[in-house]
Amino acid sequence: MGFDCTKCGECCRHIANIPQLSEFDRGDGVCKYLRGHECDIYDTRPEICNVEKMYEKYFSNLYSRDEFYKLNEEACEMLQNKNFKKLQI
């Protein structure tokens, strides 16, 4: 079972404070590759945009897969509800 992305695009609308995505910011905090709710470069998206790759490469020694998915689901819900502060994982 993988991360259950709702494909809402909210994570792509809030990249202003993510240094690794600064070159993707179109100037208003929205990723320049977001079209509606879809990513134009999904298959070649940055590592930081891929929950599976981030878990395997950086977080597998800190969290179980389920814990990491849960953290990402909570962040997603905060973005969807517009009740978020600067996120730091």
pLDDT per residue as tens digits for the range 29-69? 999 999 999 999 999 999 999 999 999 999 999 999 999 99
pTM score of the predicted model: 0.81
Taking residues 78-82, report their average pLDDT.
Answer: 84
Q: Is the pLDDT of residue 73 over 70?
A: yes
Q: What distance in Å separates the CA atoms of residue 42 and residue 13, rounded to the nearest whole number?
A: 15
Query: Is 6 part of any domain?
Result: no
41: Cβ contacts below 8 Å, ≥ 6 apart: 33
Looking at the structure of the chain, the number of domains it has is 1
Work out the pLDDT band at 89, boundaries 50, 70, 90.
very low
Query: Is 4 part of any domain?
Result: no
Query: Is 65 part of any domain?
Result: yes
User: Which range of residues forms the domain containing residue 47?
Assistant: 11-81
